[in-house]
Structures are given as structure tokens and as C-alpha cells.
Amino acid sequence: MSLNARFSLRRQLVTRLLWPVLVLVAVAGILAYSIGLHFANLAYDRWMYDSARALAHQVRWIDGSPKVTLPQAAIEMFEWDDIDRIYYAVTGAAGEPIYGFDGLPELPAALRSGMSPAYYDGMIDGRTVRIVVLRLPAPGGAEAVTVRVAETSAKRNILAKEILLEVLVYQALLAGAASLLIWAGIRSGLQPLAKLAEEIMARTPADLGPLLADVPQEVRPLVHSLNDLLTRLEATQAAQKRFIADASHQLRTPLSALQIQAERASRENDPDARAEALRRVNASITRITHVTHQLLTLARADPASEARQRFAPIDLARVAREVTTEWVPIALTRGVDLGYTGPETGAPVFGEAQMLKELLGNLIDNALQYNYDGGRVTVGVAAAPAAILFVEDDGPGIPPEAREKVFERFFRLPGSGGRGCGLGLAIVKEISQLHDAVVLAEPGDGGHGTRVKITFKSAPAQSFS
């Protein structure tokens, strides 16, 4: 899995929130500018309209024809403006000049009749002008008169620039504030993740307890999975530590003894004594091999191991018959009658065959080892209602107070001989637990001997399909 360094939740959130907000701010700015411009133009248009009306008042009808007479003071008042130039004109019905400036841009065809007042734009001397048109109906059916006032657009342009500047400043402030709020919001929103990361960073391999950071609901599944993993890691680590402790404890002494025995054998000159010393070396090696085997089996059967991943449907009856057959020759050497009772095949369980063989081997080994010579040992399987596996002997039995203790690691009944190291039943218990089965030591039939019984959970039918 490759980590994408560019993939950052914060960056993603910022990009996804900030850009739309900035676009919105920009759109709002454009709207504010055009609304401001519209109303400013409206105000100037009104002012021009008022001028045109004042001029219209001066139109007199003398002998049915229109005349305009304006005192110089009034003309100056009309034209007075320190920024813009103002032009005015009164024309007759056919457009013939009656009064005022003669060079106003021609009326557009659409405005020649109809609406009054009307406005249009044009050019005078290379400068844009805004023009208001006012039409005066003539009294007594005489010809109509058109009054027009034009104004260059310097003031309008200055105001447009001022509005634009104002809007830009406010939009910039707004965008800045929005970015700041978004950034701070995302930062504080992601704070719990940062805290979680800190807590994980602070962990050492020895500190595998659950994570306690208070995280938002959305992150809780992640923390749950992490805690699950930590729990399993902790169990694995504990199992490993226990194995190392057990192994060093169980192997160190026999290995030192073996070394001494081997040295002694090498120094021995007498052939008989040498043979005896070598026999001891051999016995030690056998014991060490056995302990090592038991320790490794126990480690493999640990619930924290990966054994469950190898589980498959297994025919318990077949496995039991196979293992029993393997042990018959050993039973014969001890004069023990080893037999099997149960179905030929069947008794399905979900598990691992090698482990179940190990389990059964340990039980048969015990039953042969701790039985009287010439005793009887029975391996049994029952399929219903749940699969059951048992090994029964008619030996001395296990005293009631020790029936639980025998499953502990390294526990042996006082006086138990043989090469045992006290791990067999611990292995049986671990393998049983791994298979969700329950193990029990009880007296055999008629209250004699020992029966160790393993009851499996009835396996769901689909596990075997």
C-alpha cells in the first residue's frame, strides 16, 4: 500500500469549502457592484430629468409655434457643472432646432415617438454622453416639441470606480474572514484526530492497552478496530513472553545436565561405564526433545496464534481411529489393551487435524503412561448431539482435588514417573479452547480410572458445505 503524501483531509476540506465560498463572495461582489451602479445611474438620470423639465417649462407657444426664451442667468444655471459638460436642445416635430445645442446625437428610431421621458447614450466630441428625452404635447393640436438634456459621463464613471473600490475592499475583507473561519473550523474539527495520532505516537511496544482518546462518532469504528488489534497484539506478546520464560526455565537445566553427562562420557575409559554414560546422554536428549516438542505445541495452540485461520471441516471419527491405530504398537509393549469405540466416520467438527491429533496423542500417552501394566484404554467418539471425544483408562485415576489442576502448565501429580514434563493436559486444554470445546477430567466407568472428555460445540451445517 502506498501512502499518497498529497492526500490530506484538511487540504481536501479546505479546498472543498473555501473555493465555493470564494466564488460565492465574488458573485455577491459583482451583484453588489451592478446594483450600486444601477441606483447611482438612476439618481443621475433623475437629476437630468429635472433639468429637462425645468427647460420644458420655458417653452412658450406664440402664434402656435414654440419659442424658448431664457435669461443668461438661467442658461448658466443649466450649464453649470464643474465636472461634466451639459448640453441642451429643444427641437420641433420634424427634428428642426428651436433652441440650444445643435450637435446632439440623433434620436434612435425607437425613441422618435412614444415614451416620455426616455434615455439613451451617445457621443459628442468623442466623449460618451447620457441623454434624456422629454416630449411636450402642443396645446390645440399644434406640433409637438422635444426637449433633450445631455451630460457627459465623467461623474458617473468616477462613481462607478468608487463603488467598485468600495465593493472590492468589502469583498476582500469578507473573503479573508470566511477563509479564516473555515480554516479555524476545520482545524478545531480535526483536533480529535490529531490527539488520537499523538496518543498512538506516544505508545511503546510494551504499552498496548486500549486507546482512550475521546473521538467523534465517525472515527469511533477506527478506534474500535485499532483497540481490537492492540488487544490481539497484547495477547500475542504475552504468549511469546510466556513461551520464552517457559522455554528458558524448562530447557536451561536439562541442557546443562546434558553437557556434563556428555563431557563425562567422553572422559570415561571403561567401555561399560562409557556405555552407561552414553545411555544417560540419550535419555537426556529424549527428554529435552520431548519438552521442546511440548513447548512448541503449546505455543502453536495459543489462542493468540494464527491457528484458527487454518481451520477446516474435519471428520473427528476418522482422525480418532487413525491416531488410535498409530498408538497400538506402543500400547502392546506395555501390555495395555487400546481400543476404539464410535462410528467409522462422521462426527464433523470445524478445526485443525494436526492439532486434534496432538491433543488425542497426549491423552492416549497419559492413559498408557499412568495406567497399570495390562490395563485397558478406550478412545471414543460420539457424533450427536454435539461431537464428543474421550479417552478412558482403568488406571489409578486422578484424585478429585487435582482434576482441575492437572490442566495447568507443569503440574504433575506427586510420584508421577516417566518422561513427562506436565504440559500434556495444558496442551489438551489450549487446543480444546481453540476449537471452542470444553474439556473435563472425570472418573471412568464404575468410578475407576480416568476419563478425559472433550465436548465440541455442535458445528453449524454450513461450515461443511
Residue number of the CB atom closest to ligand ATP:
424
Residue number with CB closer to Mg ion (261 or 366): 366
Of 29 and 375, CB closest to ligand ATP: 375
For residue 146, the tally of other CB atoms under 10 A from its CB is 22
Cα–Cα distance for residue pair 312/307, rounded to 1 Å: 11
Partner in contact with 398, chosen from ligand ATP, Mg ion, none, beta carbon below 5 to 8 Å by kind: ligand ATP
User: Nearest distance from residue 249's CB to ligand ATP, in Å?
Assistant: 14
Across 3-22, b (16+ Cβ under 10 Å) vs e yields eeeeeeeeeebbeebbeebb
Q: Do residues 61 and 48 lie in contact, with contact meaning Cβ atoms separated by under 8 Å?
A: no
Q: Which residues on adjacent β-strands are paired with residue 451?
A: 392, 442
Contact present, 84 and 151 (Cβ < 8 Å): yes
Output 152 or 369, the one with its CB closest to Mg ion. 369
Picking from 150, 120, 134, the residue whose alpha carbon sits closest to that of residue 59 is 134
Total of residues contacting Mg ion (CB under 5 A): 3
What residues between 336 and 365 interact with ligand ATP by CB under 6 A?
A: 362
Give which of Mg ion, ligand ATP, none residue 413 binds (C-beta under 5 to 8 Å, depending on kind): ligand ATP
Distance CA 377, CA 368 (A): 7
User: Residues binding ligand ATP: what is the number (CB under 6 A)?
Assistant: 22
44 binds ligand ATP (CB under 6 A): no
Query: Is the Cβ of residue 51 or residue 371 nearer to Mg ion in the bound state?
Result: 371
Q: Rounded to the nearest whole angstrom, what is the least distance from the CB of residue 304 to ligand ATP in the complex?
A: 21
Restricting to residues 24-53, which ones interact with Mg ion according to CB under 5 A?
none
Q: From the list Mg ion, ligand ATP, none, which binds 32 (C-beta under 5 to 8 Å, kind-based)?
A: none
Closer by beta carbon to ligand ATP, 19 or else 410: 410
> What Cα–Cα distance (Å) separates residue 460 from each residue in 108, 315, 316, 390?
93, 14, 15, 22
Q: Least distance (Å) from ligand ATP to the CB of residue 341?
A: 17
Q: Which C-beta is closer to ligand ATP: that of 426 or that of 459? A: 426
**Contact of residue 250 among ligand ATP, Mg ion, none (CB under 5-8 Å per partner type):** none
Residue 424 binds Mg ion, judged by CB under 5 A: yes
Q: Residue 412 binds what, of Mg ion, ligand ATP, none (CB under 5 to 8 Å, by partner type)?
A: ligand ATP
Site string for Mg ion, 348-367 (x = CB under 5 A): ------------------x-
351 binds, among ligand ATP, Mg ion, none (CB under 5 to 8 A by kind): none
Query: Quick check: 288 binds ligand ATP (CB under 6 A)?
Result: no
Which of ligand ATP, Mg ion, none lies near 100, with the C-beta cut-off 5 to 8 A by kind? none
Dihedral sign computed on CA atoms, order 272, 277, 280, 282: negative
The only residue of 450, 454, 456, 459 in contact with ligand ATP, by rule CB under 6 A: 450
User: How many C-beta atoms surround the C-beta of residue 392 within 10 A?
Assistant: 23
> Closest CB to Mg ion belongs to which residue?
424
| CB nearer to ligand ATP: pick between 342 and 420 | 420
Q: Is 398 in the site for ligand ATP (CB under 6 A)?
A: yes
The residues pairing with 453 across neighbouring beta strands, listed in sequence order, are: 390, 440
Q: Which of residues 403-432 bind ligand ATP (CB under 6 A)?
A: 406, 411-413, 416, 420-426
When binding is defined by CB under 6 A, the residue of 366, 379, 390, 437 that contacts ligand ATP is 366
Residue 175 binding ligand ATP, by CB under 6 A: no
Residue 394 CB, shortest distance to ligand ATP, in Å, is: 10
Quote the cell numbers at residue 310: 487454518
> Which parts of this chain interact with Mg ion (CB under 5 A)?
366, 420, 424
> Which parts of this chain interact with ligand ATP (CB under 6 A)?
294, 362, 366-367, 370, 393, 395-396, 398, 406, 411-413, 416, 420-426, 450
